[in-house]
A and B are shown apart, each in its own frame.
Chain A
């Protein structure tokens, strides 16, 4: 083993001395392989950053995340408003969410794949000669991140309506490895292509790739914190009944009674509602909504308006009656403009509401709707809920606030399972 560092060094600095007969003399442009390794390394960096941000959230706390094309240089997103945050908290950022809290971050196997490609690029670029069979393997291997990137880009654009900067780095790296792999393949000598050893070599590389993907995933599963069972079903609604008539029915078709407490101008509520709608388990819920605007204009429990203008928007949601869902979705879609308008006063928000929903104008800012909104806040008071949004109650049991993002599917699955088991003991 003493000589291996020297061998490695000599291979890099004096490749001529290490021409190896078993690989033949077929020439592959060295620049192509080095470029391949650089793109793979780029993928490693972006996937590692994404994995780090995801894993940091396993502690159920809120963290700033990297959202820069040059990780480490740009400011980290602490507000939760960036595309990176939307993607990270979306149901697509991990798999097997119902089985383990948060699931397995898709960035972790991506890290393994890019690390494997980097390893292959370095390994080949250190050789004197490379066969075409090996460069064609590079192309096949590079297709995996490219295909995954294409799917995720589509999800980002169509399902989430945003693209995360770090993900864009991964997409670029994926494309880079494919292009450079093709470049290396085209530059390789065809003389050794199709030799008998290709199948065995491909199998070995495949197994190496699997090891680089699966071993980190297994270590992650072993090391990740177990979910504290004591947290589920800890808090129960004291007065879940809707004696004020303030609950809004959603269009959900499920049968399990659930109550969502939200602020129409709260970005976290928007993201949460979309996560819930995208979740398979969310479709089991017969969801009702209680408005809890964190705006001091109508909410005496906040000293400063966290979401200025949300009182006016909440009135509009209540005024809309059966079409409350339409107004709520509209508010979610226009949150930045409405918050900016709210910063200048409620009048601007009312004007915007009347412009987009003229039919609601006679109802807005009137005593009856203000009283109804006040009763919505009083429902929150009567249940002594924490002053925050969003909150979700399933069969009157609270989903812990820390579990409404990455842990939603896992905790929802457990809550549904537990409440089903104890259905006879739970209030309807």
Chain B
């Protein structure tokens, strides 16, 4: 067997034609890898929602309300009574209610019968639907009220029972291990921040018949708050 130089030249040329690109491509990747390791990742990190309406003022009020109502610090007592709520909110009832205006899409009004604190089926359905729509919200606010009929003390108690009814239903239905850290409860009786006629446009558990302010205030206002405090 005699092999000429052409054979070896061809073999060598072929080898170079294969080896050189493979080497160049591999080295280029190594260079890019070195460069990429020094760059910070631009992928967002998962976090709770913090919507545009979470102004500094709203957060401050919420923090005061939630702290004073035993939510954030996890105190033994749960809920704020009317006087406490008025003090921590440090604002008029109208201003207090207007804080929740941006929450129209996230809130609902659970309505009760006169002098009752029992949830009817539409109320349960709306409550479950609203609570299940948590999305990225960190806090669920329950603000229960009573219409002016009856004594102030009785209405205070009545609104307290209404708030509790909402809370108990959520507890029983959803078995949420973080419920204690999520739900803020205020019962206002008839004394503070009564809902006005504008709230008739909000989602309510009773949509049939006339909507009076008395109907509106025999209620528990519920809303997820998409703010990080």
Q: A residues bordering B, Cβ < 8 Å? A: 4, 7-8, 11, 22, 44, 48, 51-52, 55-61, 108, 111-112, 115-116, 118-119, 122-123, 126, 197, 200-201, 204, 208, 211-212, 215-216, 219-220, 223-225, 228, 243-244, 298, 300-301, 366-368, 370-371, 374-375, 377-378, 380-381, 383-388, 401
Contact = CB atoms under 8 A, between A and B. Distances in A.
Given A219-B19, A243-B177, A301-B136, A58 B30 contact: yes
A272 B136 CA distance: 27
B174 A371 contact: yes
B210 interface: no
Contact of B44 (A11, A383, A387): A387
Contacts of A385: 45-46
27 contacts: A8-B9, A51-B22, A51-B25, A55-B25, A55-B29, A57-B29, A59-B33, A112-B18, A126-B6, A197-B1, A201-B1, A211-B11, A215-B15, A215-B18, A216-B23, A219-B22, A220-B23, A301-B136, A367-B132, A371-B174, A374-B134, A377-B136, A381-B47, A383-B46, A386-B43, A387-B44, A387-B46
Counting from the closest, the 4 A-B pairs by CB-CB distance are: A367-B132, A300-B136, A225-B30, A59-B32
Q: Which of A57, A225, A387 has the most CB of B within 10 A?
A: A225
Q: Which of A48, A116, A216, A380 has the most CB of B within 10 A?
A: A216
A59 B36 contact: yes
A415 to B, nearest CB: 19
Majority-rule SS of B interface residues: helix
Given A56-B25, A119-B10, A216 B49 contact: no
Given A386-B45, A387-B43, A212 B37 contact: no
Q: Which of B3, B33, B176 has the most CB of A within 10 A?
A: B33
Nearest to A61: B36
Contacts, number: 148
A386 B46 contact: yes
Nearest to B176: A371
B29 A8 contact: no
A38 B173 CA distance: 72
Interface in B4-50: 5-7, 9-11, 14-15, 17-19, 21-23, 25-30, 32-34, 36-37, 41, 43-49
Contacts of B10: 119, 122-123
Contacts of A112: 18
Majority-rule SS of A interface residues: helix
B177 A386 contact: no
B131 interface: yes
Contacts of B136: 300-301, 377, 381
Contacts of A204: 1, 3
B177 A244 contact: yes
A228 B37 contact: yes
Contacts of B25: 51-52, 55-56
Given A56-B29, A201-B1, A384 B15 contact: no
B25 to A, nearest CB: 4
A300 B43 CA distance: 15
Contacts of B173: 367-368
B201 interface: no
Given A225-B30, A381-B48, A216 B2 contact: no
Nearest to A57: B29
B133 interface: yes
Contacts of B15: 115, 211-212, 215
A223 B22 CA distance: 9
B23 to A, nearest CB: 5
B128 interface: yes
B1 A381 contact: no
B154 interface: no
Interface in B131-160: 131-136
Contacts of A8: 6, 9
B171 interface: no
Nearest to B7: A123
Contacts of B116: none
Contacts of A375: 176
Given A219-B22, A301-B46, A367-B129, A58 B29 contact: yes
Given A57-B29, A212-B14, A367-B131, 15 more contacts: A7-B6, A8-B9, A48-B21, A51-B22, A58-B26, A118-B14, A219-B26, A224-B29, A301-B44, A301-B46, A301-B136, A368-B174, A385-B45, A386-B44, A387-B46
